[in-house]
Structure 1
């Protein structure tokens, strides 16, 4: 069972060069992702007089986030695993693929990367606002929680299928492409309702810089629940069963 493989790790892990390099890679990947993703929304709003709230703006943001995440995951994959998302890190932790100590390092780096990206955007744009995630009119917090759970489930399930599953083979750049595509598609599905975060760090940076915290907890609860469910389902139904079948076959 995945729960049996959950590991806390040791404090010494936090000072290991390999862990520090991986943490730095997560910081840089998150900075790249948020700067490009959040920046694209700011640019589109400036060019079209707040046209980012139109269907065209939603499509533009979906494409920008898909491309940016593809790059961010690709450049970090060989160093940190290219999580670029605290929810993805949590899913890996639930499945026993990363220790709690390493997860905490990643979470700190991811949150800082998002904040720094938003600060750089504010500096580079002469003080333009980095808009915090917000719920659309008529969308309740629990509507948004369901959206975030389902969208993040799809994201983390994709991560497991293309990047974590030991049977995946050599997929090369397929994993980052698939991860970028599912995020882009989810933005098209949920962007008009709650912004389609799927990533607590992506929500955290703009919230800190703009100091806007309305319903912010939604963008933590939903992604973490969705990530945990996806990790457990994939581990129990596909990874563990495959290992059990291999052991059984080896006995004959």
Structure 2
């Protein structure tokens, strides 16, 4: 492969993608195993670690609204980052589908979480509970339709488009929540600042996915940097819920001390 890369570089001055992917330095392991994209795999594993930490903290947040929803969301994140780690270690048809569909599942579940969080009053009335059920059925329908379409014809561009659109919708929901909070309280509170940090950072990280450049040192491409940028976000979500629901969390205190 590297002979071909050298040929393109010396004769054409640029290197093309091969089957839609850049060339990477791979790491050989015992028993014939190979890590095809080391940086993306490492950063995916670190994301898996922070999501597991987030899941643990969600489980300890007894009595918060929609606790089961947050726990399910974290479990989906665990599956997503396991899928991503496997795909970047060993790219085949099965791991590729796991990665792409896992990412879509995580993104649409994040959109669902943002909608439910934006409308907290649904938990308090019978009408609200019916509205919540309708929203759940709506999301299940969209999810099922997407999975059926993708398994019939795996369209990478369409999957990425859906992920970007749903991420944008999630941002809109949280911005609406912040505007309403500012209107009701007159100023932004600590929880609002934490949410703004998540929104800005997550959208900046997502923007990295839109870049596409030859891997630096044949290791770091834009996608791996996206995975690097998302590592702290799960911890920040747990911090945000701690403050929002006034939970006295030792995990958050340790996090703040490390930043100080």
Which of the five TM-score ranges fits, normalised by the shorter chain?
under 0.3
Larger RCO: Structure 1 or Structure 2 (Cα < 8 Å, ≥ 6 residues apart)?
Answer: 1
TM-score by length of 1: 0.27
Of the two, which has the highest radius of gyration? Answer: 2
TM-score by length of 2: 0.26
